[in-house]
């Protein structure tokens, strides 16, 4: 009997990872009716991670928190085996705003701190913070302030929230936040390696996605520089060049400096909870994919992680994606023996998105039949 493991990430804007896995499974069953199929939807710490953790047995906790600007938003996190998994975007996600220069300069992470505090009140024994998709570029200052840290100007008054205000930070009192945390360990789950500052930093790379123009990017980078200096002055680690500190508009760096967090691979962390490694043992065929397979997919994203594991397991690898922007050599380097992009089999991008489940089923059947015939 052929053993098939289906381990895709989400198709952003179209299907969750769970829905993708279900659609592919139907196609595999069409091609190989007697196959032993295991679905293990995965995530890399970005959007959709909490749904994967719920699927692995986690429990949702919901509460209103301060959003990225002035209004409240309904946010959620997941409790699983004593750990709280908190997705920053649930509190300060870019989906809550319309990108603009003002948003880029003023969005903040206060609500993320509220989620962390709530999880501590629920006696969480570990905090895991995922940091993709934020509207903020505040270096995690709002998050730390919500946990009790003092983010102060030269007169000792609290500075305003948002990245722009960090230019006025003269001193930081981390003691209240650290006392609030106690001995609870914190991990930041990300596969982004951008530092906090400079040409590859949080403001330069991610600021434009949030509405920042060239001058705004320069302003935010200078403000983050001031923030990093103030944190060092407060006795915290220098996060200015730490790989991954720029993730989530610098919230990863704020967690490292203010909460003593460790940066961990988002994919590896989530994979360890979903049983994918155990499922791959003895697999004949592995199918993975995501919405857009491109150069970023090679840097710690879910498809690359699954590809590496499939290779170690000695299994054949197929990839399905909404679009594929890797050439044949790059795909071969991942160990891919067959691939298909939905956009190549749809009259338009809109059609591919709205009919993704049908297309995934059909393309999975074709790829698996071709693989089985070899």
Give the tens place of pLDDT for each residue, 2-48: 999 999 999 988 999 999 999 999 999 999 999 999 999 988 777 78
Q: CA angle, corner 219, sides to 240 and 199, nearest 5?
A: 50
- Write the DSSP string, 307-329: HHHHHHHT-EEEEEEEEE---HH
Within the chain, all domains assigned CATH 3.40.50.10350 are found at 3-40+279-373
pLDDT above 90 for 314:
yes
Q: Are 251 and 137 in contact (CB under 8 A)?
A: no
Q: What is the pLDDT of residues 53-104, one digit of tens each?
A: 998 899 999 999 999 998 999 999 999 999 999 999 999 999 999 999 999 9
Residue 66 has which token pair?
A: 């301060």
Alpha carbon distances (Å) from 118 to 44, 146, 208: 24, 11, 32
Rounded CA separation 150/63 (Å): 24
Pairing mode of beta strands 150-152, 171-173: antiparallel
Residues in the chain, how many? 374
Q: Taking residues 124-146, what's their average pLDDT?
A: 96
The hierarchical CATH code for the domain 3-40+279-373 is 3.40.50.10350
Averaged confidence pLDDT in the chain: 94
Within the chain, all domains assigned CATH 3.90.1510.10 are found at 49-266
Rounded CA separation 207/249 (Å): 8
Q: Please give the model's pTM, rounded to 2 decimal places.
A: 0.87
> Which residues are bridge partners to 151 per DSSP?
172
Rounded CA separation 225/197 (Å): 7
Nearest of 190, 191, 90 to residue 143 by alpha carbon: 90
Nearest of 223, 250, 220 to residue 241 by alpha carbon: 250
> Which residues are bridge partners to 59 per DSSP?
79
Rounded CA separation 281/313 (Å): 6
For residue 363, what pLDDT is reported? 97
Rounded CA separation 198/188 (Å): 21
For the segment(s) 49-266, the CATH number from 3.30.70.330, 3.30.1360.200, 3.90.1510.10, 3.40.50.150 is: 3.90.1510.10
Alpha carbon distances (Å) from 325 to 55, 205, 247: 30, 20, 24
Q: Are 217 and 166 in contact (CB under 8 A)?
A: no
For residue 247, what pLDDT is reported? 93
């Amino acid at each position: 009997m052929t053993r098939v493991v289906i381990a895709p990430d989400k198709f952003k804007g179209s299907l969750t990872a769970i829905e993708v896995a279900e659609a592919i499974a139907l196609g595999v069953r069409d091609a190989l009716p007697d196959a032993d199929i295991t679905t293990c939807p995965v995530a890399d710490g970005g959007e959709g991670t909490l749904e994967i953790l719920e699927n692995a047995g986690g429990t949702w906790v919901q509460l209103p928190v301060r959003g990225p600007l002035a209004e409240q938003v309904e946010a959620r996190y997941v409790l699983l085996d004593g750990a709280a998994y908190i997705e920053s975007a649930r509190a300060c996600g870019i989906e809550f705003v319309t990108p603009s220069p003002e948003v880029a300069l003023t969005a903040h992470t206060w609500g993320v701190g509220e989620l962390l505090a709530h999880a501590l009140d629920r006696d969480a024994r570990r905090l895991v913070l995922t940091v993709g998709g934020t509207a903020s570029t505040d270096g995690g200052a709002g998050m730390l302030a919500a946990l009790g840290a003092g983010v102060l100007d030269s007169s000792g008054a609290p500075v305003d929230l948002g990245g722009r205000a960090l230019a006025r930070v003269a001193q930081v009192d981390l003691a209240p936040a650290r006392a609030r945390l106690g001995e609870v360990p914190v991990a930041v789950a990300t596969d982004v390696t951008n530092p906090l500052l400079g040409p590859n930093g949080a403001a330069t790379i991610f600021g434009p996605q949030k509405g920042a123009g060239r001058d705004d990017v320069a302003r935010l980078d200078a403000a983050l520089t001031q923030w990093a200096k103030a944190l060092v002055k407060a006795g915290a680690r220098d996060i200015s060049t730490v790989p991954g500190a720029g993730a989530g508009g610098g919230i990863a760096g704020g967690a490292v400096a203010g909460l003593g967090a460790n940066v961990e691979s988002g994919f590896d962390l989530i994979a360890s909870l979903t049983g994918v490694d155990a499922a791959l043992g003895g697999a004949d065929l592995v199918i993975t994919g995501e919405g857009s397979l491109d150069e970023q997919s090679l840097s710690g994203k879910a498809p690359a992680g699954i590809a590496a594991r499939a290779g170690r397991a000695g299994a054949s690898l197929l990839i399905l994606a909404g679009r594929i922007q890797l050439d044949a050599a790059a795909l071969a380097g991942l160990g891919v023996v067959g691939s298909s992009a939905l956009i190549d089999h749809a009259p338009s991008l809109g059609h591919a998105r709205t009919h993704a489940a049908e297309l995934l089923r059909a393309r999975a059947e074709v790829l698996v039949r071709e693989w089985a015939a070899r």
